[in-house]
Amino acid sequence: MADLIRYPSPNWNERPAGVKPDTVIIHYTGMETGAAALNRLVDPAAEVSAHYLIEEDGRIFALVDEAKRAWHAGVSFWRGRENLNHNSIGIELVNPGHEFGYRAFPRAQITSLLALLDGIAARHDIKRDAYIGHSDIAPDRKIDPGELFPWAQLAAKGYGLWSTLAGHDKTVIAERGQKNANVMKFNKQLGIVGYHIGDTQSFGATTEFAVRAFQAHWRPEAVTGQIDIGTAAVLEDIAGQSGQ
């Protein structure tokens, strides 16, 4: 792994008593340059931070000690817990994001990320299914790290779940506005994966946001917010693996 570059951020506080990191959350910076993102993460006025930032060339900046609570998750929910800052480690990957020219994550960046995850896994008890994206914990307001992030590559190393099902069939079987047994089933499965679905009876805005986030993570070839046959198959598979 590339040597860590110590670049302390003042934007942190203590984790709640007795709470240890058990989740890793991946972000992209969504800014035009890595330098601009790094400056923001250490600016007291910005009141945001992450534990690490990884540049596109693989350099890793250590911003906040893993024992401390960084401010990267914001309003968030995953598997019945709110405010994921309390129990997570946040990693920012330099990428301009969808606003400034979203692009694939370079090999050097992902190589450094995997090495960093090796170290995190050695230091903390993080389950295989607890490596997730910012959009997973806040699907109504975040879309990072997006559909180009190589989740399958991480899962191959034991960092996250993945489905080997093809999931290519894009025939829509459920969409916003519907209310039926299929919708109830899909909402239940989304909840098992970890998403917050308040109204499990209907396919409303909350379900649509969750489906988009799920697709960006596990079925990235069609991020539509609709459930098609392929998405349904992959969703059932990932729900079945969740909790591992």
DSSP 63-102: -S-TTEEES---S-EETTEE-TTTTEEEEEE---HHHH--
d(Cα 202, Cα 180) in Å, to the nearest integer?
Answer: 7
Active site residue 92: yes
Q: Which of 25, 34, 125, 38 is nearest to 74 (CA)?
A: 25
Question: Model-level pTM?
Answer: 0.97
Is pLDDT at 86 greater than 90 in this prediction?
yes
Peptide bond into 44 cis (omega under 30): no
Helix (H, G, I), strand (E, B) or coil at 219: coil
Is pLDDT at 3 greater than 90 in this prediction?
no
32, 47, 55, 92: the catalytic one is: 92
CB atoms within 10 A of CB 201: 11
Per-residue pLDDT, 185: 97
Is pLDDT at 91 greater than 90 in this prediction?
yes
Per-residue pLDDT, 2: 65
Q: If you average pLDDT over residues 165-185, what whole number do you get?
A: 95
User: For residue 86, what are the CA distances in angstroms to 96, 123, 149, 206?
Assistant: 27, 17, 25, 24
pLDDT tens-place string over residues 180-201: 999 999 999 999 999 999 899 9
pLDDT tens-place string over residues 7-57: 999 999 999 999 999 999 999 999 999 999 999 999 999 999 999 999 999
Q: Classify residue 40 by burial, with Cβ atoms within 10 Å: 0-12, 13-18, 19+.
A: middle
Look over the chain and give the mean of its residue pLDDT values, rounded to a whole number. Answer: 97
pLDDT tens-place string over residues 59-70: 999 999 999 999
List domains and CATH numbers for the chain. Answer: 4-156 (3.40.80.10), 172-241 (1.10.101.10)
